[in-house]
Amino acid sequence: LLQYTRGTVTAFAPFDARADAEALRKAMKGLGTDEETVLTILTTRNNAQRQEIASAFKTLFGRDLVDDLKSELTGKFETLMVSLMRPAYIFDAHALKHAIKGAGTNEKVLTEILASRTPAEVQHIKQVYLQEYEANLEDKITGETSGHFQRLLVVLLQANRDPDVGVDEALVEQDAQVLFRAGELKWGTDEEKFITILGTRSVSHLRRVFDKYMTISGFQIEETIDRETSGDLEKLLLAVVKCIRSVPAYFAETLYHSMKGAGTDDDTLIRVMVSRSEIDLLDIRQEFRKNFAKSLYQMIQKDTSGDYRKALLLLCGGDDD
């Protein structure tokens, strides 16, 4: 998959998988656990190195590192450490599987992942899902969702967004007019037009369409979506628009909302911090600072505690003030 260079977590050097495995075993052996050692090692090695540590752990001790973490740690800290140990290639597929199993579907997870991943990443997620769970992701998702929300998810799952190759201004104008007529000018909204255009046009084309839409209507497209749609469809359309504008800005906002107000949405906080830590967390931090008058580091510090906080701050990789 793509080479990313804007993560906060990179390969640790000099790296010694066996030494790390021994340190982790020592930290979890006997009475009480040395959490500090566990969190320091797991947040400062990249995912590929964590997999090597797990393999060395099994080789040296005949024990499963993830099982040991689960039996020695508790709560959100345990969830975070176990998430860090999940092989990177399966991370999204696993999150989607858990979002659509059992009672009730977690639409938030479906929205976040399918709106933000590139077409190449979506193709990869579908393949992994089939290999790992012997099930078709699209079938699973259509079985648990309905209406226009379901249709837009299916469009995104096709991963057939137009490639970014130059922008045709005439088509920009046309799409902007179609969206204007489907949204602001109609009683009820022609959701299908929004689904097709937002789900299939190239990123650079859509950025121009949003500018043109503003010129024609006097509204940001987000305002129209907000007024004319509701529920899961509204959230998904907004997520797609935000990711077209800027994926790091979308994740900065997602992180902000996971911590803002009473209570923390720890599942979202953990999922985003872990899944973006080797991709674009530096860019997310920059957007966060720009848009929310405080840094991601400060917000995590204020909103979490204990070893969980220490580990998240290490993943965050620094303050931006």
- Domain end point (choices 200, 226, 245): 245
Q: Is residue 164 part of a domain?
A: no
* Of the candidates 200, 193, 201, the residue with the CA atom closest to the CA atom of residue 166: 201
pLDDT for 102 equals: 67
User: CATH number, domain at 79?
Assistant: 1.10.220.10
pLDDT for 185 equals: 84
DSSP per-residue letters across 108-143: HHHHHHHHHS-HHHHHHHHHHHHHHHSS-HHHHHHH
pLDDT for 120 equals: 94
Q: Is residue 225 part of a domain?
A: yes
Q: Is residue 306 part of a domain?
A: yes
The residue ranges of DSSP E strands in the chain, in sequence order, are none
The structure tokens listed for 203 are 């990123």
- My answer on whether 110 and 189 are in the same domain is no
pLDDT for 1 equals: 46
Q: Is residue 59 part of a domain?
A: yes
- My answer on whether 19 and 5 are in the same domain is yes
- My answer on whether 81 and 94 are in the same domain is no
Rounded to whole angstroms, how far apart are CA atoms 17 and 81? 17
Rounded to whole angstroms, how far apart are CA atoms 226 and 113? 21
Q: For residue 153, what are the contacts with CB-CB under 8 A and spacing of at least 6? A: 110, 114, 141, 142, 145, 236
How many distinct structural domains can be found in the chain? 3
Q: Is residue 106 part of a domain?
A: yes
* Residue matched to tokens 């993943």: 315
Domain that holds residue 182: 169-245
Q: Is residue 302 part of a domain?
A: yes
Q: Is residue 8 part of a domain?
A: yes
- My answer on whether 56 and 7 are in the same domain is yes
Q: Is residue 163 part of a domain?
A: no
* Of the candidates 234, 299, 306, the residue with the CA atom closest to the CA atom of residue 273: 299
- Domain end point (choices 245, 264, 288): 245
Rounded to whole angstroms, how far apart are CA atoms 248 and 116? 9
- Domain end point (choices 158, 188, 209): 158
The pLDDT averaged over each successive group of 10 residues in the chain (321 residues) is 79 97 96 94 98 98 98 97 96 96 84 97 98 97 94 97 93 96 83 96 98 96 94 97 97 97 92 97 97 96 96 95 78
What pTM was estimated for this model as a whole? 0.95
* Residue matched to tokens 């079985």: 143
- My answer on whether 5 and 79 are in the same domain is yes
Rounded to whole angstroms, how far apart are CA atoms 139 and 3? 30
- My answer on whether 281 and 240 are in the same domain is no
- DSSP for residue 318: S
Exposure string for 72-109, b = 16+ CB within 10 A, e = fewer: bbeebbbbbbbbbbbebbbbbbbbbbebbeeeebbbbb
